[in-house]
Homo-oligomer: A and B are copies of this chain.
Amino acid sequence: MDKNIQEVKLMKGNEALAESAIRAGIQAYFGYPITPQSEILEYFSRELPGRGKIVLQAESELAAINMIYGASGAGARVMTSSSSPGISLMQEGISYIASAQLPCLIVNVNRGGPGLGTIQPSQGDYMQAVKGGGHGDYHLIVLAPASVQEMADFVFDAFRLAEKYRNPAMILADGALGQMMEKVILPEEGSLPKRESKWATTGKTASRERNIITSLFIEPEKMERINFELQDKYKKLQDEVRFEEIETEDAEILLAAFGLAARVCQKAIELAREKGIKAGLIRPITLYPFPYKKIEKLADKASSFIVVEMNSGQMVEDVRLAVNGKCPVEFTGRMGGMIPSPDEVLAKIEEISKKINSLSTNEAGR
């Protein structure tokens, strides 16, 4: 397959992600159509059957996530994808998967909500993704790509982490990242080691005890032990924190943003620096685990944070938790499918920078 040659391609985010998943060696995809990510199911429908892999259009997202449960429990590398309303329908199943500790990939190409909402790009599902939309104490590993290239790359990272920690992973993208075309170099097929799960239900051979996949532990003492296991795992996961820093060294004003919003911020920073304002950007790549420590450190130097999101301000809470009062944390964003423009962000930067200066001059005045 010439697919393996490191050639630059021009691809849609959804298709780059799907092709990357094939190269990551998924054995099955279960999903249900929904804009703006149906291209993923459609790409697999064209490409997987020929390779002897499974693609199944389920009767619903609810069925799909439970097929994922079964297939992952049986030891296979599997994924599903959907967009906001469909992801909400999966919440019970996701809680089960997290509790039974089954590795898999769930892709949410976020659209504007709540409700049926709009199909335009949004980041309104941040809280659902990182704080647990389902019941009980669990966490997904959440990766937030900001380009078509990362849509492709993070599939490999997601499976690596999911299988290392026996935990479901989510790629939280948005409609724009899914629909847009950019240059991309696809990861090499076969570069991800095969999944191995001795605990999977593949048939009880004489040589071992039976394997059981369950999330039921009727005695609360037992259920609590399971929860301790999970919490330990989440602690360990802190080692996997990833983020990108842009011009943070000398930054007075620090933007914090993920995914597409971070790209808008990058532009805004350039504009701000042109105007002599020292702005920088911290972009969490893993939304869970969240880079609390890093942001806490940055807070020591920065005079203010501005969180920029395509929602009403969700990640801002995590930034505030990290900053813990060391400096003000402002927010600006758009909702319901709107994308903030670099100019809007710049305006906010200028506003805040004025505030800061007036403050400092006041102090100087004393």
Residues of A whose CB lies within 8 Å of any CB of B are 62, 84-85, 87-89, 91-92, 95-96, 98-100, 110, 112-120, 122, 124-125, 127-128, 131-138, 214-228, 230-231, 311-312, 314, 317, 320-321, 324-326, 334-338
Given A113-B134, A133-B133, A224-B335; 9 other pairs, CB 8 A cutoff:
A88-B133, A95-B113, A99-B117, A113-B137, A114-B132, A115-B216, A118-B220, A221-B338, A224-B336
Contact A226 B336 (CB under 8 A): yes
Partner of A134, one of B133, B314, B337: B133
Q: Of A85, A230, A320, which is in contact with the most chain B CB atoms at under 10 Å from its CB?
A: A85
| 30 A-B pairs in the complex with CB atoms less than 8 angstroms apart | A62-B89, A85-B95, A85-B135, A88-B134, A91-B128, A96-B114, A98-B114, A98-B115, A112-B224, A113-B134, A113-B136, A114-B138, A117-B135, A117-B136, A117-B215, A117-B223, A118-B217, A124-B136, A124-B137, A128-B132, A128-B134, A133-B133, A137-B311, A137-B314, A223-B336, A223-B337, A224-B336, A226-B336, A227-B335, A227-B336
Q: A134 CA to B336 CA in the complex, in Å?
A: 15
A246 to B334, CA, bound (A): 41
Residues on B with C-beta less than 8 A from A216 are 115-118
B115 touching A215 by the CB < 8 A rule?
A: yes
The residue on B at minimum CB distance from A313 is: B137
Given known contacts A224-B337, A325-B326, A128 and B117 CB-to-CB distance under 8 angstroms: no
Using Cβ atoms and an 8 Å threshold, which residues of chain B touch A326? 325
CA distance A216 to B225 in the complex (A): 43
Docked-complex contact A317 and B317, CB < 8 angstroms: yes
What is the total number of copies of this protein in its complex?
2
Q: Are A124 and B135 in contact (CB under 8 A)?
A: yes
Query: Does the CB pair B134–A220 fall under 8 Å?
Result: no
CB contacts (< 8 Å) of A98 on chain B: these are 114-115
Whether A217 contacts B336 by the Cβ 8 Å rule is: yes
**Out of B95, B114, B218, B312, which one reaches A118, CB within 8 Å?**
B218
Task: Point out the residues of chain B lying under 8 angstroms from A231, CB to CB.
Answer: 312, 335
Q: Which residues of B contact A221 (CB under 8 A)?
A: 338
Identify the closest chain B residue to A93 (Cβ).
Answer: B88
Q: Are B220 and A137 in contact (CB under 8 A)?
A: no
Contacts of A127 in B (CB 8 A): 127, 131-132
Tell me which residues across on chain B come within 8 A of A84, comparing CB atoms.
135-136
Interface centre among A91, A115, A215 (most CB of B within 10 A): A115
- The distance in angstroms between the C-alpha atoms of A321 and B336, with both chains bound, is 25
Contacts of A113 in B (CB 8 A): 95, 99, 134-138
Question: Given known contacts A114-B136, A115-B136, A119-B218, is B334 in contact with A224 (CB within 8 Å)?
Answer: yes
A99 to B312, CA, bound (A): 14
Contact present for A337 and B133 (CB under 8 Å): no
A245 to B228, CA, bound (A): 31
Give chain B nearest CB distance to A155 CB in angstroms.
22
Contact indicator A92/B88 (Cβ below 8 Å): yes
C-alpha spacing A125/B334, complex, angstroms: 28
